[in-house]
């Protein structure tokens, strides 16, 4: 097998395991339903299930980053819960000839699935509710901007709603800090495609660098700076969040969330990067021209970093100046333009949208919701958007009760034309608890700002 084939096999194995680890779902049986499937014009496949007592509403599910396989729910238990309540469920694989970062085709394939569903079932849905997870949450948000006359509302869960460019940039910022201040030698951070194996190797090299740094006060201080720019959540799996005024505990929790476990988040981040480069046609992130002191000033974890630098006796101002002076990673302007067109929300919503996010998401930080709300507000569509939060650690670690409660709240908005209080945490908690589908943990929460250079791309400053 050639090098590209071997790299792809390694990537498929690593990322598939990581996806299963991060987004594990329970299984359950459902009421009687008829299954349908087919193929779209670009070769994508779609699947659907319609319960015998269909209520006329189609829930159109957009799956997350990973193998391009058709899915119509985030897990078996949620699918069963929706079918039991009369909803039909459908979803496509997205174009199978493209990147796992399938934003070029995902929304159009999902829209085409509605027509294919109608033709096969022989009945047009009365209403269509888009529903997506992770990358699929971004797909649902984009569908909400294009969906007038096609869908009636959108539910984005654990969504990458800050968009692909912001995702690339804050991840690169944090990794650049690690490479410059902690690594004994240069580490490749971009321009991986088509060498998927090199991207995976970078992830595990950064994991080793972080583990070594965590053993010393100097290392922990500089690692705290990287973790701040990575937007690492200050919570460890299975443990309560530490007090915000305890910098050592905050950094330890951030370290555990980003670098802990058998398949650390940093490995997933780097395994995904070449797929985004493949979709964009080049590197769509940069460090050149960034002011790292300004980036830190805008981070909610700036005080943690400053406290640990003082404790270690290090000169933070000097490190930030070095990072700014030596930043030399340039983006490909054509790749930026392509990602801007396919993978960045404009906020110009055409239908109501409800977003759900866990407070401690180690892979897609909850801070993305802060940036997305600002984008929607500036577009003048904030009356259509509501955001709700679940007090739990994990990426897409929602229960079926929380998913179904979200669908119910969105349905209320679509059918009544008003949000009323249905998207408020107490109302969602009451609704979820009454479903008999297990626990729920909706909570009032205001996400902090997303760290990183998320502004407009300047080819003169950042281009190649």
Write the CATH number for 137. 3.40.50.1820
On whether both 144 and 178 belong to a single domain, the answer is no
Assess if residue 262 is contained within a domain.
yes
pLDDT in tens, 291-348: 999 999 999 999 999 999 999 999 999 999 999 999 999 999 999 999 999 999 999 9
pLDDT value of position 456: 62
On whether both 18 and 108 belong to a single domain, the answer is yes
Assess if residue 453 is contained within a domain.
no
On whether both 134 and 79 belong to a single domain, the answer is yes
The last residue of a domain, from among 293, 319, 339: 339
- Yes or no: say if 422 and 428 are a contact pair by the CB < 8 Å rule: yes
pLDDT in tens, 178-223: 999 999 999 999 999 999 999 999 999 999 999 999 999 999 999 9
- Yes or no: say if 278 and 193 are a contact pair by the CB < 8 Å rule: yes
On whether both 325 and 355 belong to a single domain, the answer is no
On whether both 302 and 359 belong to a single domain, the answer is no
Assess if residue 454 is contained within a domain.
no
Assess if residue 448 is contained within a domain.
no
Residue 132: which residues within 8 A CB-CB, separation 6 or more? 61, 62, 63, 64, 138, 139, 140, 141, 143, 154, 155, 156, 157, 159
On whether both 184 and 124 belong to a single domain, the answer is no
Name which of 190, 225, 250 is nearest 322 in CA terms: 225
**Residues 138, 158: Cα–Cα separation, whole Å:** 9
Assess if residue 323 is contained within a domain.
yes
The last residue of a domain, from among 286, 308, 339: 339
On whether both 370 and 306 belong to a single domain, the answer is no
pLDDT value of position 84: 98
Residue 5: which residues within 8 A CB-CB, separation 6 or more? none
Query: What 3-state class would DSSP assign to 148?
Result: coil
The reply to whether omega before 194 is within 30° of 0 (cis) is yes
**Residues 58, 118: Cα–Cα separation, whole Å:** 10
- Yes or no: say if 356 and 431 are a contact pair by the CB < 8 Å rule: no
On whether both 138 and 178 belong to a single domain, the answer is no
Assess if residue 450 is contained within a domain.
no
pLDDT value of position 212: 97
pLDDT value of position 238: 81
On whether both 227 and 295 belong to a single domain, the answer is yes
On whether both 230 and 330 belong to a single domain, the answer is yes
Query: How many structural domains compose the chain?
Result: 2
Q: How many CB atoms lie within 10 A of CB 436?
A: 7
The last residue of a domain, from among 319, 339, 359: 339
Assess if residue 370 is contained within a domain.
yes
- Yes or no: say if 94 and 44 are a contact pair by the CB < 8 Å rule: yes
In this prediction, the residues of the chain whose per-residue pLDDT falls under 70 are 1-31, 453-464
Q: How many CB atoms lie within 10 A of CB 123?
A: 13
On whether both 71 and 185 belong to a single domain, the answer is no
pLDDT value of position 461: 62
- Structural domain including 90 reads 3-163+350-443
Q: Token match 């500089």: residue? A: 222
User: b/e for 94-103, b at 16 or more Cβ within 10 A?
Assistant: bbbebbbbbb
On whether both 186 and 112 belong to a single domain, the answer is no
User: Partners of 60 in the beta sheet?
Assistant: 90, 130
């Amino acid at each position: 097998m050639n090098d590209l084939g071997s790299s792809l096999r390694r990537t498929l194995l690593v990322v598939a395991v990581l996806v299963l680890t991060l987004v594990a779902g329970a299984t359950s049986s459902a009421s009687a339903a008829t299954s349908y499937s087919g193929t779209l014009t670009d070769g994508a496949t779609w699947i659907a299930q319609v319960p015998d007592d269909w209520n006329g509403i189609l829930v159109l599910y957009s799956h997350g980053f990973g193998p391009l396989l058709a899915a119509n729910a985030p897990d078996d238990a949620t699918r069963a819960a929706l079918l039991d309540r009369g909803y039909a469920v459908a979803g496509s694989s997205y174009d199978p000839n493209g990147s796992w970062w399938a934003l070029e085709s995902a929304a159009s394939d999902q829209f085409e699935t509605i027509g294919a569903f109608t033709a096969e079932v022989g009945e047009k849905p009365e209403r269509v509710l888009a529903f997506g997870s992770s990358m699929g949450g971004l797909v649902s948000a984009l569908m909400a901007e294009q969906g007038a006359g096609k869908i009636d509302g959108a539910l984005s869960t654990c969504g990458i709603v800050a968009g692909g460019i912001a995702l690339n940039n804050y991840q690169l910022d944090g990794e650049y800090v690690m490479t410059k201040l902690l690594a004994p030698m240069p580490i490749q951070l971009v321009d991986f495609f088509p060498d998927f194996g090199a991207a995976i190797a970078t992830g595990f090299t950064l994991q080793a660098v972080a583990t070594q740094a965590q053993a010393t006060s100097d290392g922990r201080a500089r690692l705290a700076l990287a973790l701040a720019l990575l937007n690492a959540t200050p919570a460890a799996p299975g443990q309560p969040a530490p007090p915000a005024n305890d910098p050592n505990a905050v950094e330890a929790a951030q370290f555990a969330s980003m670098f802990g476990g058998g398949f650390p988040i940093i490995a997933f981040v780097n395994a995904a990067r070449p797929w985004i480069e493949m979709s964009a046609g080049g590197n769509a992130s940069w460090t050149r021209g960034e002011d790292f002191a300004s980036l830190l000033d805008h981070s909610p974890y700036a005080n943690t970093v400053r406290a640990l630098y003082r404790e270690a006796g290090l000169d933070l101002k000097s490190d930030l100046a070095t990072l700014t002076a030596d930043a030399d990673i340039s983006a490909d302007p054509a790749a930026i333009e392509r990602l801007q067109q396919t993978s960045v929300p404009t906020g110009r919503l055409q239908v109501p949208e409800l977003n759900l996010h866990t407070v401690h998401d180690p892979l897609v930080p909850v801070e993305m919701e802060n940036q997305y709300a600002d984008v929607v507000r500036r577009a003048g569509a904030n009356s259509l958007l509501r955001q709700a939060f679940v007090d739990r650690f994990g990426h897409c670690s929602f229960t079926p009760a929380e998913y179904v409660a979200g669908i119910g709240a969105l349905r209320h908005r679509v059918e009544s034309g008003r949000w009323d209080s249905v998207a408020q945490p107490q109302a969602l908690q009451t609704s979820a608890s009454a479903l008999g589908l297990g626990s729920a943990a909706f909570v009032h929460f205001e996400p902090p700002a997303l760290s990183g250079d998320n502004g407009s791309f300047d080819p003169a400053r950042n281009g190649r």
